[in-house]
């Protein structure tokens, strides 16, 4: 039913493009400009994904999603603003995606403090997760692909963890919560952090620095924390010459829940079991083309329960390279090559990665019907090297997306 709703939305919005004057082209300003309301709406129609390559931490496929974002900003004066965003995916109910207050202590300096559900500090793609900012339809694997790790349940042995290769869309473990649930990506692109963030530097200035203290971790951002720790994250972004952006990020915070720590040992604390991540990224644009690169290394420290023990920390490394070329002012082509790999574990029978490595190649194109109304098509080739054949190891998937924003 929800898929048919998304399909109907695509037809209706495409038809609306014939009446261009009826579609807003910029945020709606109220109260003399002190209130601004905007939206980002996208509908994707793609083939069935039998290997769950594109499933997200909201149990939706990134290729079969109707997403509606409504944003609002209220400027209370020269020093204080309140920003909010509500989101619905596949008409599953409204989610408060963002809600924070921004304080600028000095109007003449490029420094602000944000508190609440704040934008991500870590990574480059985290800043362009809206469909209008993504040249393709799929997401980089680091930000979307569900690994076989859960914060509320952990494997007792290396054998148990390796047996769950490629099952991140639905798995359970013998320690902690016994119900089936999804795993987590390296970095969630679908949930924002909650806490305090400070930023210094102009948006297009030569140096920008951001730091934050938030609940949850990159893999599992939370509104209310489920352990006794906080995540600390930071990012430095440089723009040495026109068209070039170079960034580096780092984050560290407790990953497992208090309940898991207590299930392992009475004196265990969740703060002992951290997720630590490092990231490097670069973007260069000139004329008709743009190239982006991003690499992320994430390490998880999990409890050791019994032999064969987990060789810790568990590591995952992702690398993504994408490019876009404008064929005409309204038409572009794009491609992304993506890989995520995992460190090896020694089990009773073999030595193998703790999760199945995945490679994705996605190519596509976008055409702007209007400045803020765009149609995209893409094709994906996914390959997964899993020990078990319980899920398909290959998947060729296509999708179409229409995007409207103001």
Instruction: Give the separation between CA 101 and CA 115, rounded to whole angstroms.
Output: 6
**What pLDDT digit, counting tens, does each position of 180-189 carry?**
999 999 999 9
Element containing residue 221 per DSSP (H, E): none
Confidence check: pLDDT of 13 > 70: no
Query: Is 123 within 8 Å of 273 (Cβ atoms)?
Result: no
Chain position carrying tokens 């969630």: 188
**Average pLDDT, rounded, for the chain:** 92
Q: What percent of the chain has pLDDT over 90?
A: 81
Query: Is the predicted pLDDT of residue 161 greater than 70, yes or no?
Result: yes
- The model's pTM: 0.92
Mean pLDDT of all residues in 125-146: 94
Buried b (16+ CB within 10 A) or exposed e, 125-163: bbeebebbebbbbbbbbbbbbbbbbbbbbbbbbbebbbe
Q: 8: part of which helix (H) or strand (E)?
A: helix 2-16
383: its two tokens? 């390959």
Report DSSP letters for 51-111, one per residue.
Answer: T-TTB-TTS-BTTS-EEEEEEEEEE-SSSEEEEEEEEEETT---EEEEEEEEE-S-TTSSE
pLDDT of 371 over the 70 cut? yes
Show the domains of the chain with their CATH numbers: 2-405 (2.40.160.10)
Q: How many residues appear in the chain?
A: 406
Quick one: pLDDT band at residue 221, thresholds 50, 70, 90? very high
Cβ neighbour number for residue 62 with a 10 Å cutoff: 27
Residue 48 — φ and ψ, nearest 5°? -65, 140
| Residues 6 or more apart whose Cβ sits within 8 Å of residue 266 | none
Examine the pLDDT at 18 and tell me if it is beyond 70: no
Count each helix (H run) and each strand (E run) in the chain, helices first. Answer: 4, 21
| Angle value at C-alpha 381, between 376 and 382, nearest 5 degrees | 120
Burial grade of 269 (CB within 10 A; 0-12, 13-18, 19 or more): middle
Q: For residue 15, what pLDDT band results from cuts at 50, 70 and 90?
A: low
Q: Are 305 and 261 in contact (CB under 8 A)?
A: no
When mean pLDDT is compared across 107-111, 149-153, 217-221, the lowest value belongs to: 107-111
Model confidence pLDDT, tens digit, residues 293-309:
999 999 999 999 999 99
| For residues 363-392, average pLDDT | 95
- The neighbouring-strand residues paired with 380 are 362, 397
CA distance 59 to 170: 9
How high is the pLDDT of residue 19?
43
Q: Kind and range of the H or E element at 261?
A: helix 258-264
Look at residue 390 and tell me whether its pLDDT is greater than 90.
no
pLDDT score at 248: 98
- pLDDT tens, residue by residue, 239-284: 999 999 999 999 999 999 999 999 988 778 888 999 999 999 999 9
Select the more confidently predicted residue: 73 or 21: 73
Encode pLDDT of 55-97 as tens digits.
998 889 999 999 999 999 999 999 999 999 999 999 888 889 9
pLDDT in tens, 315-342: 999 999 999 999 999 999 999 999 999 9
Give the per-residue pLDDT at 228.
82
Question: Does 192 score more than 70 pLDDT?
Answer: yes
Q: What is residue 5's predicted lDDT score, i.e. its pLDDT? A: 47
Q: Is the model more confident about 9 or about 77?
A: 77
HEC profile for 323-354? EEEECCCCEEEEEEEEEEEECEEECCCCEEEC
Q: How many CB atoms are located within 10 Å of the residue 60 CB?
A: 19
| pLDDT given at position 388 | 84
Q: Sorting pLDDT into bands at 50, 70 and 90, what band is 1?
A: very low
CA distance 179 to 81: 42
Q: For position 222, what pLDDT does the model report?
A: 92
Q: Is 204 helix (H, G, I), strand (E, B) or coil?
A: coil
pLDDT at position 127 is 84
How much is the pLDDT for 244?
97
């Amino acid at each position: 039913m929800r898929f048919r709703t998304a399909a109907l939305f695509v037809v209706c919005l495409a038809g609306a493009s014939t009446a261009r004057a009826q579609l807003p082209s910029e945020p709606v300003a109220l109260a003399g400009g002190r209130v601004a309301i905007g939206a980002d709406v996208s509908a994707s129609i793609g083939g069935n994904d039998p290997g769950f390559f594109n499933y997200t931490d909201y149990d939706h496929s990134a290729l079969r999603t109707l997403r509606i974002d409504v944003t609002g900003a209220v400027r209370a004066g020269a020093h204080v603003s309140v920003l909010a965003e509500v989101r619905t995916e596949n008409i599953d109910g409204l989610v408060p995606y963002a809600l924070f207050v921004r304080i600028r202590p000095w109007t003449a300096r490029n420094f602000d403090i944000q508190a609440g559900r704040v934008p991500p500090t870590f990574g480059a793609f985290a800043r362009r997760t809206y469909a209008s900012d993504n040249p393709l339809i799929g997401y980089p694997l680091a930000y979307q692909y569900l690994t076989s790790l859960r914060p509320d349940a952990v494997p007792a042995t290396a054998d148990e963890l390796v047996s769950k290769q490629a099952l991140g869309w639905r798995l359970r473990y013998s320690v902690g919560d016994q119900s089936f649930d999804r795993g987590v990506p390296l970095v969630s692109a679908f949930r924002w952090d909650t806490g305090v963030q400070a930023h210094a530097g102009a948006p297009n200035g030569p140096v920008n620095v951001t730091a934050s203290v938030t609940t949850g971790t990159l893999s599992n951002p939370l509104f209310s924390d489920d352990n006794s720790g906080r995540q600390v994250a930071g990012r430095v972004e440089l723009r040495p010459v026109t068209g070039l952006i170079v960034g580096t990020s780092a984050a560290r915070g407790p990953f497992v829940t208090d309940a898991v720590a207590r299930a392992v040992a009475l004196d265990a604390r969740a703060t002992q079991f951290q997720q630590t991540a490092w990231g490097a990224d670069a973007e260069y644009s000139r004329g008709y083309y743009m190239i982006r690169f991003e690499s992320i290394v994430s390490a998880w420290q999990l409890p050791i329960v019994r032999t064969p023990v987990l060789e810790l920390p568990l590591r995952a490394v992702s690398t993504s390279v994408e490019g876009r070329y404008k064929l005409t002012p309204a038409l572009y082509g794009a491609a992304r090559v993506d890989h995520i790999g995992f460190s090896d574990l020694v089990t009773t029978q073999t030595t193998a990665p703790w999760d199945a490595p995945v490679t994705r190649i996605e190519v596509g194109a976008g055409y702007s019907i209007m400045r803020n109304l765009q149609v995209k098509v893409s094709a994906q080739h996914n390959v997964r090297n899993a020990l078990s054949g319980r899920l398909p190891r290959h998947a060729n998937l296509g999708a179409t997306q229409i995007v409207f924003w103001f």
